[in-house]
Structure 1
Amino acid sequence: MDFSLLLVLAVAVSGVIYLLDVVWWRPKRHQRIASAEASTMEGLDAKTREKLLKEPWPVDYARSFFPVLLVVLVVRSFIIEPFQIPSGSMRPTLDVGDFILVNKYAYGLRLPVVHTRILEVDDPERGDVMVFRFPEEPSVNFIKRVIGLPGDRIRYEGKQLYVNDEAVPKQLIEEGPQENPRELLFEEQLSEATHFIYNNPRDPGPQMREIEVPEGYYFTMGDNRDHSNDSRYWGFVPQENIVGRAFAVWMHWDGGLPSFTSVRGIH
């Protein structure tokens, strides 16, 4: 189900009904009242006037919901959109059940449904946590870290990431951390972005020879390096598939009571 499409349709239908009432049906109701008052010497009582002025139920609902739906559409399409993390591919940065906020303005304004960029702002940078529509199934949203920009050369061998022939620095922080004892916790420095990643010492993981990121595309990886379905397997993210930059966790829900103790920025 495409929620953006449903929201656009709801705004369009309620807006058309509201507009028709303003320019056509409402003046007709007032004309009926004027005609009724002209045909009687005593004028209309309050109950009759109220009955003649009463809006049909579609108009009443449209008038009530149109402003609310329009605000939701504008905010969700051009400013901020909430998402839920469905998998562990971005651990330890993000966990299953995290609810995140995505800046829709960071990488330019895009029209809802058709996703055409109408205003350029900035482009993704290495280290950004980016939400995008999965190239192989555009109705599904993915979240990964931007590793390679257009023109970059990327290689991944022996659990070491290389960008433009330079090894991306990483430092071992902890062996078998309590929250994930089968992994090694590293701190990685990707351009200006410092973040944590997991590597599994018992799993050789994928090996990838050097590839060059084409113009208009981006190379992404999950922070849970040995448990992430990312660009190492299915290729590059087209610029037109970009949704926005994830910048905050505002809630965590794992099936019990929602928790707000994990509220934090995303780095």
Structure 2
Amino acid sequence: MAENIEKKQDSGLWENVKVIIQALLLAVVIRTVFFQPFTIPSGSMMPTLLIGDYIFVNKFAYGYSKYSLPFSPDLFEGRIFASEPKRGDVVVFRFPPNPDIDYIKRVIGLPGDKIQVRDGILFVNDQAVKRVPDGMFQADDGKDKGVDVPVYRETLDNGVNFDTLDQDSNSRGDNTREFLVPEGHYFMMGDNRDNSSDSRFDVGFVPAQNLVGRASMIFFSLGNDTSFTHIWKWPANLRYDRIFKGVE
């Protein structure tokens, strides 16, 4: 009898171990192939994405490169099952000068496009992007706390529209040279136009291989510099209206 009980216990323990291993493998597959969570650490994409937003990134949206895999092994060059981003997509990519760092910006220029900013107005292929005032914005964090920052609604030629911030009408990013996007590369900009390190500056053109995926949904959001581990602060600092909100 005792021997049977021990066998049942061993069998039950092994079943539990198998379930845990299967769950871990499934999590790795989902994270590697389908969706990967990211957190937003800076205000470069405000007001679209805020510091403290937690997002899911669709990794199969543009196919896969070595940067889609854990530790970025050199198994192949370029992308497999590749598809092109659309102008206006919000994308996570590897920072070209240091691919160990993830960046998130909006696709503004596609291969062959001409991009320039003149007096704060974005031009794509010599056509001014429609830009209209859309109220004021104030952040709820201490790292990038803008007070009554002007918001402008921009509409791209494909109909994608989104809000941008323009705190300083004469910042160094408000007048740029003309950029010609090379084949196999993309031009990225942050929606917080005066506070974004992007393709206007040190990011440069982003190779297609560096794309990780398209930001698809905010699944959690904490304001007021609240740490994720401070669970007791969640009720007072959760941004309830942002949970399960799509990224546009």
Tell whether the structures are fold-level matches, with TM greater than 0.5.
yes
Q: Which has the larger radius of gyration?
A: 1
2:69 equivalent in structure 1: 112
Shift of 1:202: 5.3
Counterparts of 1:187-198 in structure 2, within 5 Å, are 187-191=153-157, 192-198=159-165
SS in 1 for 2:117: strand
Shift of 1:122: 2.1
1:140 is aligned to 2:107: no
- Residue from 150, 162, 166 that aligns with 1:184: 150
CA deviation string 1:206-229 (max 9, x = no partner): 231111111111100000000001
1:155 is aligned to 2:116: yes
Counterparts of 1:168-183 in structure 2, within 5 Å, are 168-174=129-135, 176-179=136-139, 180-183=146-149
1:47 equivalent in structure 2: 3
1:228 equivalent in structure 2: 196
- Residue from 169, 177, 182 that aligns with 1:209: 177
Q: Structure 2-normalised TM-score?
A: 0.79
Counterparts of 1:5-154 in structure 2, within 5 Å, are 47=3, 50=6, 63-110=18-65, 112-113=69-70, 114=72, 116=76, 119-154=80-115
CA RMSD of aligned residues (A): 2.6
Q: Which letter maps to 2:215?
A: A
The 8 Å contact of residues 90 and 107 in structure 2, kept in 1 or not, is answered as yes
SS in 2 for 1:231: coil
CA deviation string 1:187-208 (max 9, x = no partner): 0012321000001235433231
Please list every run of 5 or more consecutive structure 1 residues that lacks an aligned counterpart in the other structure. 1-44
More helix by share: 1
The 8 Å contact of residues 47 and 137 in structure 2, kept in 1 or not, is answered as no
SS in 2 for 1:261: helix
Q: Which deviates more, 192-201 or 204-213?
A: 204-213
Greater length-normalized contact order (CA 8 Å, ≥ 6 residues apart): 2
Q: Which deviates more, 235-244 or 108-117?
A: 108-117
Shift of 1:250: 1.2
The 8 Å contact of residues 159 and 205 in structure 1, kept in 2 or not, is answered as no
Taking every aligned residue pair, what percent have the same amino acid on both sides?
39
- After the TM superposition, list the runs of 4 or more consecutive aligned residues in structure 1 that deviate by more than 4 angstroms: 48-51, 59-62, 115-118
The 8 Å contact of residues 80 and 102 in structure 1, kept in 2 or not, is answered as yes
* Cα distance in structure 1, aligned partners of 2:84 and 2:123: 21
Q: Structure 1-normalised TM-score?
A: 0.74
Shift of 1:170: 0.6
2:246 equivalent in structure 1: 265
Aligned in 2, Cα 1:136/1:61: closer, same or farther, shift over 3 Å? farther
* Cα distance in structure 2, aligned partners of 1:91 and 1:156: 19
Q: Which letter maps to 2:24?
A: L
SS in 2 for 1:244: strand
1:250 is aligned to 2:219: yes
Alignment length (residue pairs): 220
Shift of 1:181: 3.2
